[in-house]
Chain A
Amino acid sequence: MADFEFGPRNVMLMIIGLVLLIFIIWMGSTYNKFVQMEEDIDGNWNEIMNQEERKFDLIPQLVNQSEQYQEFEKSTLENITALRTQWMSAGSDEERLEVSDEMGSLIDDIIITYEAYPYLQAEGPLRAVMDEMAGTENRIAYRRTKYIEAVKDYNAGIKKFPGVLVANMFGFEERENLYGSSPGS
């Protein structure tokens, strides 16, 4: 076996080997990071849809309780019921989001009425369903923020150098933010 010498050629080979090793480790770690980021996007989106589902499940209760008070407009309650039917027959997440937006403005009308009459806010079934509705909206708002952040971070990650190298190599594609540019809407 030949003796190993720390000659210029061997040192160079060692450095190249080390750099390659670091590059492979970095590539693996970046790949895993992108996979995790995609999981985060999908996880947050699924949770948004679960909570939207929960919101629409609460609608019959909300309508039943609200109907007992003349302060709530009958037409608003009828529209809410119709939107729930639309939600249930929606074929895609995008469609569901549109229905949910429309529903949001009708629920806002109900909340405005509810807050205008203090006696409506007495402890009881209506108060309970309003608390559940508010809690569901909080969950959606929280997940929506996380979803938008996750999409933004992921899209920036796969476009920036050096992440773009791994993204192109393994086919990571840009993800669409389904809330568009105005997340608060």
Chain B
Amino acid sequence: MRQFTVLMALLAAALLLGISSSGIVTADYPVLSDYITDEEGVVEYSEWYDDIYWVCEVLERGTSTVMAILVINSTGDEEIAMYATEVFNENGIGQEDKDNGVLIVVAVGDGTYFVAVGLGLEGVLNDAKVGRYGREQFEPYADIGDYGQGLYYLALWIGAEIEEHYEEAEEKDYPIDWIPLEWPQLLLAIAVTGIILVLTGGRLIIWIGPLLRNLGKGKAGGGGAGGVFRK
């Protein structure tokens, strides 16, 4: 009888493990928690950082479009277009129901870049347009190693194109305008955060930064354009 009970318990545990492990996802791509993620320090410490950030911020406030920038050394064996699309989808850039995100990836060590465009923006930012902006606005500066300025102009032109053609469905008023939560959701979030802070003895602070800057759940399908520059 005891052996039978143990056997059944083991079977139940195996099934539960099977259910819970079915949704495990392994991610090898960088996690983006803010508009600019610079692993190479070529933009973060440049005079253009604040300007690029400002362009992204104004764009999101005005159109809800999320534009993110990632600077890395290399994409390894992976093509930069594939890499950028995977990073885009792993991080879900843009609003879930609009897929209105843009991700600019620059691989400094490879001398390549790619602008991945969310599915919802492909009508506004077609490949030819993005390719031209890259060549005219980014490449001349990247060729001389001034990535900050190149990214600023590229982001500015892309942002202006979106601003001009993008139709925002509705604008909502939130209690705190930079947190897209209604009153009940906001109070619940504050209460839950407070409880977890107490329970974890304040360790939640370590993870709260990235949580505050949520880039969304948008999707991309490989659209966009890129190019090369002199390393």
Asked whether A145 is an interface residue with its Cβ less than 8 Å from the other chain, the reply is yes
- With A132-B127, A138-B223 already in contact, the answer to whether A123 and B5 are too (CB < 8 A) is no
B18 touches which one: A12, A26, A136, A142 (CB < 8 A)? A26
Q: How far is the CB of B136 from chain A (nearest CB, A)?
A: 8
A142 touches which one: B4, B16, B19, B222 (CB < 8 A)? B222
| Set of chain A residues within 8 Å of B105, measured between Cβ atoms | none
| Set of chain B residues within 8 Å of A30, measured between Cβ atoms | 18, 22
| Set of chain A residues within 8 Å of B126, measured between Cβ atoms | 132, 135
Q: How far is the CB of B48 from chain A (nearest CB, A)?
A: 25
Assess whether A22 is in contact with B16, with CB atoms less than 8 Å apart.
yes
Asked whether B30 is an interface residue with its Cβ less than 8 Å from the other chain, the reply is no
Closest to B222 in A: A142
Asked whether A131 is an interface residue with its Cβ less than 8 Å from the other chain, the reply is yes
Q: 8 shortest A-B CB distances, which residue pairs?
A: A135-B127, A142-B222, A131-B131, A128-B128, A139-B222, A131-B128, A138-B81, A138-B222
Question: Can you show 26 pairs from A to B with CB atoms below 8 A apart?
Answer: A12-B1, A15-B8, A19-B8, A19-B11, A19-B15, A22-B15, A26-B18, A123-B136, A129-B128, A132-B126, A134-B131, A135-B126, A135-B222, A135-B224, A135-B225, A136-B127, A138-B81, A138-B82, A138-B85, A139-B221, A140-B222, A142-B221, A143-B221, A145-B82, A162-B15, A162-B18
Binding site for B on A (CB under 8 A): 8, 11-12, 15-16, 18-19, 22-23, 25-26, 29-30, 33, 47, 123, 127-129, 131-132, 134-136, 138-143, 145, 162
